Chains A and B, each alone.
Chain A
């Protein structure tokens, strides 16, 4: 397999441009400039990693989001960074040919390929609510996980269960960590996840040959370390007590805080506020709609979406706003996740590392 530097050389990219690229990438991944030499070294020595990308019960929005990535662009990821050897959506081959190829890649790269999972397995009817090659998807999932060096759970389906697992969960669909219990799983939740978060996770793994630092729930810290509420450009309106009272009112036209018409920003960890979608172009709150919390566990059953989260003193001031997160999470999550606690755990973990 070729290394990045070899690929670049082959493209006639100068050493100078290569270093420039590595520097940009370092910044993009939120790493300190002192890390540049390590990134360069990684790019010189790491070959293209084979990726097997399987699909369970899902809607393919994760794949669609992935190809929306602007930095890096989809063509660069697929043809120069990874080797996407199996993917229901993009693979040219079909049927037995592609299934045999998956087996071949698993054997050839045993312990060295990345398994990416979009969607989740239904356990009802012996798994036959999702069938690949005449077999239950759950069987393919277990089999493909065995030789993987790392597993990525794309989106809220694979990470938490998402829409098909919302009440009453007719097919008994479960997140993949209910089925694969002996391997670390990188959860990249969101419905879908932000494109540049997806490619950012891939790039990190390719360059450093390790999984990115994860929080207590298995999410990459660099992308899920902040509540949307804390990074939201409308936060100052929240603090000032300036709210949209009804859609399309004067406050809505002025871009005031959407908390009162239903916004899960205070209980949702994702990069929508800082990274935003489409390379910083917008995010739901910027378009005038509250966050529906799509990166959070059980968000479908924590509705209705247009009701404000209870138990939060508004308008708040900065010191109160921190409490808001903890109170709101406890109220909204119904015991499933306690963000207040998660935040504390995360903070102490960070300290240890430092």
Chain B
């Protein structure tokens, strides 16, 4: 048995360490440890502040999934104060949210994940003529997915961002890479395990295609976020206000934040989103996936997704009156709320449990444990609902090494700054894969009559199953499936943005220009005490913020975040979180270079700044790190 450490795990947000125990004979990962190695304390910092300011603070939880913690915070405060936002604000927030989904997923695949599959070194061996031919083949083959993608506006004369599938184009990229390698200054490509045998699994032409698109998309990605820059003034970290959005609309004034010209800029960007997903992202990932699954039988990394996934739901079609009161879940176009168990047995045998409004306030549903986290509970065998949580940091150091210089972590004791959230005491995976499994199961088992978004999702899954020649329960709950689901979700979000844009135009035509409900802006209109929950589906998975407002200030605030679910350490029952389960469902070829494990971890798109922070319930001075509250 060999113990291998990867620290830092790069190409993620934040700081993560993994340790694996590998059986050298079989390459099986027998045990795995995921350790969040940073901790900041944002929930504590927002205490006693003006609830209308909190979105800006929580937005800084993460600059990669920028805007999502702002959205969750706005929803929580609005739920607490009983604020319904105007229609235009709902559509604009959905466009800003959808733009995040597209951007985050595209950047994740090309810039954080692609180099687990493809190598610039292998790209040098490719024939540019063959690469161009391959690009055309995959555009034709996987273009069938685009055929049922709706265009609600129909205003693009032709695709402006079309892959330049010519030999000359690929030759230029190849030359560039060659010079880079020859210069000896490899920059971002330096020092990686390029000699790993997995880089031989794809033909050189796929490597060249993907590396070319890596660079191409590095320059295109900025354009995907233009809607946030128009509506929120900047990106990363655009602006919002409680009660709606700040970008007032006028068709009479060029000085207005939003006018005809500004809407045209947004519309153009949305079509760029559509083209980037339809014509680049989807064909590229499916070309790689087909070879991994069908040629190499590489079905590793499903882990927890086979057993249990959880989701909260998103995309309110129209404004809702509250989340805790159940109205949010009645208005959703994308009802990924619920839990699905045993999807790997087939969609008809999977078990579905509903989850909506009131369940998020129920102390028995979602709890957090600290048996293996650097915090102290009075009884560490028990979990605590976020409202009742306690956070008392209790850093115990590693098993081997010193307090500040680790060798190996203590997997039997405490080993992470991340807590362990559980649903009814069980670990769950969150993310695009979870959402796709949940919607597919709900529709196929007849729990819901599908909306157009849900019908689209089912169509995507059925079409990919046909293209791959595999049933969904076989390809979806895998590392490859996690990566495909994310691409499908980006494609759906890009097309949904056309839908929101159409709804915005229709509403403006009807004469409604309002973007903010200011009735309850003044704190004197608020109740003495109010509680609220803000839910959303962040790019990396389900996100919840819980707030208590007292006397016009934040009294209590906390977030349960996607990477806390996925990256969690073990609970008192010894049940592993999704990262650890994924690693233990993977076989490595070269134990000291566990590329397969890295690929599995990256397939979750880890976000560590999100997963590790601290909440203080009593607000003691923190210099002495004795803190009460709930950690997330």
A277 contact from B40, B229, B403, Cβ within 8 A: B229
Q: How far is the CB of A29 from chain B (nearest CB, A)?
A: 21
Min Cβ gap A105→B in Å is 8
Within 8 A of A (CB), among B520-572: 521
Chain B contacts of A57 at CB under 8 A? Answer: 38, 40
Bound CA span A125–B404, Å? 9
- The answer to whether A61 touches B66 (Cβ under 8 A) is yes
Instruction: Assess whether B330 is interfacial by the CB under 8 Å rule.
Output: no
B231 CB contacts on chain A under 8 angstroms: 287
Is the CB–CB distance between B248 and A79 below 8 Å? no
**Complex interface bits, A83-105 against B, C-beta within 8 A gives 1, otherwise 0:** 11101111111111111110000
Task: Tell me the chain B residues, 424-455 only, with Cβ under 8 Å from chain A.
Answer: none
Interface size class of A (residues with CB under 8 A): 35 or more
Point out which of A59, A91, A162 has the most chain B C-beta atoms below 10 A from its C-beta. A59
Name B's interface SS: loop
Q: Mark A51-85, 1 if CB is under 8 A from B, else 0.
A: 00001011111111101111001110011001111
Q: In the complex, A185→B232 CA distance in Å?
A: 31
Chain A nearest CB: distance from B328 CB in Å?
A: 23
Beta-carbon contact of A101 and B222 below 8 Å: no
> For chain A residues 121-171, which have a beta carbon within 8 Å of chain B?
122, 124-137, 139, 162-164, 166-171
Of B213-221, B343-351, B355-363, B493-501, the segment with at least 4 beta carbons within 8 Å of chain A is B213-221
Any chain B CB within 8 A of the CB of A32? no
Set B63, B176, B191, B518: member contacting A247, Cβ < 8 A: B518
Given A59-B63, A90-B111, A288-B257, A170:B622 Cβ within 8 A? yes
Contact string, B603-615, partner A, CB cutoff 8 A, digits 1/0?
0000001000010
Residues of B within 8 A of A195 (CB): 222
CB distance from A104 to the nearest CB of B (A): 8
Chain A, residues 286-297, CB within 8 Å of chain B (1/0): the string is 111100101000
B621 touches A101 (CB 8 A): no
Among the stretches B11-19, B201-209, B296-304, B311-319, the one at the interface with A is B11-19
The smallest beta-carbon distance between A198 and chain B, in angstroms, is 12
Contact between chains at A304 and B50 (CB < 8 Å): yes
Of the candidate stretches B130-138, B140-148, B509-517, the one touching chain A is: B509-517
Q: Identify which of A248-256, A309-317, A324-332 touches chain B.
A: A248-256
Q: Are A135 and B404 in contact (CB under 8 A)?
A: yes
Chain B residues 371 to 392 lying within 8 A of chain A, measured CB to CB, are: none
Q: Which of A61, A69, A92, A100 contacts B237 (CB 8 A)?
A: A61
Residues of B within 8 A of A163 (CB): 40, 42, 45, 57, 60
The answer to whether A98 and B63 touch across the interface, beta carbons within 8 angstroms, is: no
Known A247-B246, A288-B248; judge A73-B234 contact (CB<8 A): no
Cβ A126 vs Cβ B403 within 8 A: yes
Asked if A59 and B7 make an inter-chain contact with CB atoms under 8 angstroms apart, the answer reads: no
Complex contact B45–A164 (CB within 8 A): yes
The CB with the most chain B CB atoms within 10 A, among A60, A82, A164, A192, is that of A60
Interface string of B249-269 (1 = CB under 8 A from A): 110110111000000010000
Q: Indicate if the CB atoms of B219 and A74 lie closer than 8 Å.
A: yes
**Cβ of B307 to closest chain A Cβ, rounded Å:** 28
Contacts of B12 in A (CB 8 A): 88-89
Indicate whether B129 reaches chain A with its CB closer than 8 angstroms.
Answer: no
Task: Given A168-B621, A303-B50, answer yes or no on A247-B41 (Cβ-Cβ < 8 Å).
Answer: no
A-B contact pairs, 19 of them (CB 8 A): A58-B63, A59-B60, A60-B62, A67-B221, A83-B185, A87-B10, A92-B191, A93-B10, A134-B17, A167-B45, A168-B622, A170-B41, A173-B40, A247-B248, A277-B235, A282-B230, A287-B239, A303-B49, A306-B50
Extra 6 A-B pairs, beta carbons < 8 Å, given A125-B393, A168-B619: A64-B63, A89-B13, A94-B598, A128-B403, A133-B7, A303-B53
Which residues of A does B touch, CB under 8 Å? Answer: 1-2, 10, 48, 50, 55, 57-65, 67-70, 73-75, 78-79, 82-85, 87-101, 122, 124-137, 139, 162-164, 166-173, 191-192, 194-195, 234, 246-248, 252-256, 272, 277-278, 281-289, 292, 294, 300, 303-306
Q: Please give me the 8 A-B residue pairs with the lowest Cβ-Cβ distance, nearest first.
A: A61-B63, A255-B255, A287-B233, A170-B41, A134-B406, A284-B233, A101-B191, A288-B257
Chain B residues with a Cβ under 8 A of chain A? 5-15, 17, 37-42, 44-45, 49-50, 52-53, 56-57, 60-64, 66, 107, 111-112, 115, 176, 179-180, 183, 185-193, 215, 218-219, 221-222, 225-226, 229-241, 243-244, 246-250, 252-253, 255-257, 265, 393, 395, 398, 401, 403-407, 417, 513-516, 518, 521, 598, 609, 614, 616, 619, 621-623, 625, 627
